[in-house]
Amino acid sequence: MFGSIFNRNRKTKVYSPMDGKVISLDQVNDPVFSGRMVGEGVAIETTDNMVYAPADGIVTTISRARHAIGMKLDANVELLVHVGLNTNGSEDVFESHIKVGERVKKGDLVISFDFDKLAASDETVVVPVVVLNSQFHSFSNFKIDALSDSKKTVLFEVL
């Protein structure tokens, strides 16, 4: 009970889960993400095939195709990392390296995938990283139009 009260004023840094170019959600060619229907965040245009945990937390969801994970971070931040936009029927493309309920540390490998297979359905592989419960948080220090280094670049901070 007291943990959520005391964590309320703590900044949570969300690091890049992949190498690539950081873009605004406005530039994502999917109205669910560009319209921020699922939450606030950024996206990464990547040529990488490894996805790393962007922060410490507990894995709450893994999609059936293994292309997306949900995490609950400290300070009650619910984060989604979604690899690709046209991933329907792509079960053979992704491999999950984690389980639901597992505690992961920033930089742990969580998903790997066959980049060439995914790129065949997505011209540019875009990876939205969004806070699902954005309405309860404020944000600062968005990194947009810059190159990201997986596990090192802070994409944004959540308050």
Output the domain CATH number for residue 139.
Answer: 2.70.70.10
Is there a domain that residue 78 lies in?
Answer: yes
Question: The domain containing residue 22 runs over which residues?
Answer: 2-154
Helix (H, G, I), strand (E, B) or coil at 126: strand
CB neighbour list of residue 116: distance below 8 Å, 6 or more residues apart: none
Helix (H, G, I), strand (E, B) or coil at 114: coil
Residue 159 domain flag: no
What is the spatial distance between Cα 57 and Cα 71, in angstroms, rounded to a whole number? 6
20 touches 145 (CB < 8 A): no
Is 101 part of any domain? yes
The better pLDDT of the pair 87, 20 is held by: 20
**Of 1, 17, 2, 39, residue with least CA distance to 104:** 17
Task: For the full predicted model, state whether its pTM sits above 0.75.
Answer: yes
- Inside any domain, residue 56: yes
Q: Is the pLDDT of residue 22 over 80?
A: yes
* Confidence (pLDDT) at 121: 78
What local confidence, expressed as pLDDT, does residue 4 receive? 47
pLDDT digits (tens, 9 = 90+) for 104-133: 999 999 999 999 988 887 778 999 999 999
Count Cβ atoms within 10 A of the Cβ of residue 60 and give its class: 0-12 exposed, 13-18 middle, 19 or more buried. middle
Q: Flag whether pLDDT at 1 surpasses 60.
A: no
How far does the chain reach from its first CA to its final CA, in angstroms? 19
Q: Which residues are catalytic?
A: 82
Would you say residue 146 lies in a domain? yes
Confidence of residue 9 (pLDDT cuts 50, 70, 90): low
Left, alpha or beta for 101 (phi > 0: left; psi -120 to 50: alpha)? left
pLDDT for the residue 5? 45
Q: How many domains does the chain have?
A: 1
pLDDT in tens, 59-106: 999 999 999 999 999 889 999 999 999 876 677 899 999 999 999 999
